[in-house]
Amino acid sequence: MAHYSRAPITEALIDLRVTPTAEVDVAALESIHSQEAERYPEKKKLFAFTAELRTGDEVSANATQLERGWALISVDKRQVFQAQVDGFTFSRLTPYETWESFRQEAFRLWQIYRAVNPRGAVTRIAVRYLNRLDLPLPLRDFKDYLHTVPEIGQDLPQSLSGFFMQLHIPIPDVFGTAIVTETLIPPSSPEVASVVLDINLARDHELPTDDADIWKLFEDLHNYKNKVFEGCITDLTREMIK
């Protein structure tokens, strides 16, 4: 991908899902914080909430809240590291610097996580990039800025006050699926229309068992994520963010 001086990335994530194991629980994961307390001083407990409603001869409702792990937040609040019993997520919030520095920090934290959870097999890897595009108003046509947008029939009025679109695109080249989500969000100023272009590229099969080989695959996912991004935007957008 071309380097953009005003890249619209507001958050980048690297994610690995692992099979839960009996010996790794929330208490075990808390030990990570003591190692990283200097760089990631703030911690928050993460929960998974499930609710179930059964109908039949009798109606019953059941809700459970399970502790899943910890979110550790860096001093400048730009980096968030989620250590969970079933996975690892590293987020870099704006300003995004480079893929290399982002990946390097994610890998460093992964190794710390792996020391606590060495046996969980990796079942899925993903990269996710959230981009915020502030399109100047008045907007003639979304297609001036985005190739991938909702298509409205020509006989209908062409104005949109809101939309949410999610596409699941199989990407055989990386044995994965790209989930492209686009939505209008509240604008950052009255002069623009703000669109989030959210690209999630995940691979959940044909995964190697060795961690080093798994991390090499992130290069493929990242490169293909760039292709998806470039495929979604027009030259006018490139001009806007260059």
Partner 1 sequence: MATVTLPQPPVAIVDIWPVDLASMPRASGPEGAEVLRMARFATRYWFDRGERVINGRHAADDFSYQPVPPKRISHVQVRYIDQGRGKPLPLTWDWDD
* Interface with partner 1 (CB under 8 A): 10-11, 13, 15, 55-57, 71, 80, 82, 87, 89, 91, 93-94, 124, 126, 128, 130, 132, 164, 166, 168, 170, 172, 175, 177, 179, 181, 183, 185-186, 196, 198, 200, 202, 205
11 strand-pairing partners: 93, 130
**DSSP letters spanning the chain:** ----TT--EEEEEEEEEE---TT--HHHHHHHHHHHTTTS-EEEEEEEEEEEEE-SSS-EEEEEEEEEEEEEE-TTS-EEEEEETTEEEEEEESSP--HHHHHHHHHHHHHHHHHHS-SPPEEEEEEEEEEEEEEESSPS-GGGTBSS-----TTS----S--EEEEEEEEGGGTEEEEEEEEEE--SSTTEEEEEEEEEEEE-SS--SSHHHHHHHHHHHHHHHHHHHHHHB-HHHHHHH-
Q: What is the closest distance, in whole angstroms, from the C-beta atom of residue 39 to partner 1 in the complex?
A: 16
The nearer residue to partner 1, 55 or 62, going by C-beta atoms, is 55
Q: CB nearer to partner 1: give 23 or 121.
A: 121
Minimum distance of partner 1 from residue 75's CB (angstroms): 15
Smallest distance from partner 1 to CB 146, Å? 15
Structural tokens at position 207: 């995964």
Judged by beta carbon, residue 22 or residue 61, the one nearer partner 1 is 61
Shorter beta-carbon distance to partner 1: residue 177 or 223: 177
Which residue lies nearer to partner 1 by CB, 23 or 47?
47
In this complex, which beta carbon is closest to partner 1, that of residue 24 or of residue 92? 92
Smallest gap from Cβ 202 to partner 1, in A, equals 7
Question: Cα Rg for the chain, rounded, in angstroms?
Answer: 20
CB of 111 to partner 1, least distance (A): 19
Least Å distance, CB 56 to partner 1, is: 5
